Amino acid sequence: MTGREAAKILLSGKDGVVSLNLFYTGKQVLGPTSLLTTNGDEHRRLRWLIAQPLSVDALRKHFAFVDGLAVQILGSWASRGRVLVLDEASQFMLKVIANMLVSLEPERPEQEEFRANFKAISSSFTSLPLKLHGTAFHRGLGGRNRMYAMLDAVIACRRAGEVCEDFLQTLLMKYTRGQQAGAASDPAEEEKLADAQLKDNILTLLVVGHDTTMAARPGSSSSSTRTPRCSPSSGRSTWRSGRRTTAMTRSTYGDRT
């Protein structure tokens, strides 16, 4: 089977026949209720709940923020001389995704801690599953726990009355199980997300959103270096991939945005 129906089966894990071949350490770090570690009906339920706040209409309100941040970062290149484009792109994507998910502003003090935790988590995915101090797996679990503590604090603030227009707020309002007495006995509550599921899948979206975008970035950068419209007088940046270093210009990215 090929085409649209085959894609649906692959994405939904229908009947448990197809599952994501995620490495053991990745499953441990992302948690047991992550969209990437579930199959069948549970996977489809999670995907439906998560997909609603990620529709085009829901994401449209973030476009101005993304555009403004991109202009700000590109505008800073002229005075900085040589820039590592992949590092810049990684930081840009983390700031964008964190803002869309939990309204974490780019210049907030927590941003550095957020990045450090994410780096520890992503670096542990293909490591040996050794829970020994100093190993990548141990650092990844620590980063996840610190990230979850940050999310717990944000969730507590939202339930105390703070309101933001982001992914977390939508899930808390519509798709997260109530905290009041007797809510757990309501059958409708069972179709919503528990806090553990909420945190597992916010982390999953952070990892997937960052890694898939960064996977496409080298190809775009390589294409940019071959454009004939590069201007030597523009602010210069550097793309490093392995041992290769390629000079690029701000005007190149302006042509391609």
Domains of the chain, by residue range, sit at 4-256
Task: Identify the residue with better confidence: 175 or 191.
Answer: 175
187-230, pLDDT tens digit by residue? 556 667 888 999 999 999 998 888 777 666 555 555 555 554 54
Q: Is a pLDDT exceeding 80 seen at residue 245? A: no
Question: What top-level class would CATH report for the domain 4-256?
Answer: mainly alpha
Note the pTM of the prediction, 2 decimals.
0.71
Structure tokens at 47: 């995907």
How many whole angstroms separate alpha carbon 113 and alpha carbon 143?
Answer: 10
Q: Tell me what the mean pLDDT of segment 99-106 comes to.
A: 92
Bridge partners (DSSP) of residue 81 are: none
Q: How far is CA 73 from CA 77, 95, 208, in A?
A: 7, 11, 23
Amino acid at 132: L
What CA dihedral angle connects 162, 163, 168 and 174, to 10 degrees?
Answer: 110
- Per-residue pLDDT tens over the stretch 22-81: 678 888 899 889 988 888 888 888 888 888 778 888 888 899 999 999 999 988 888 887
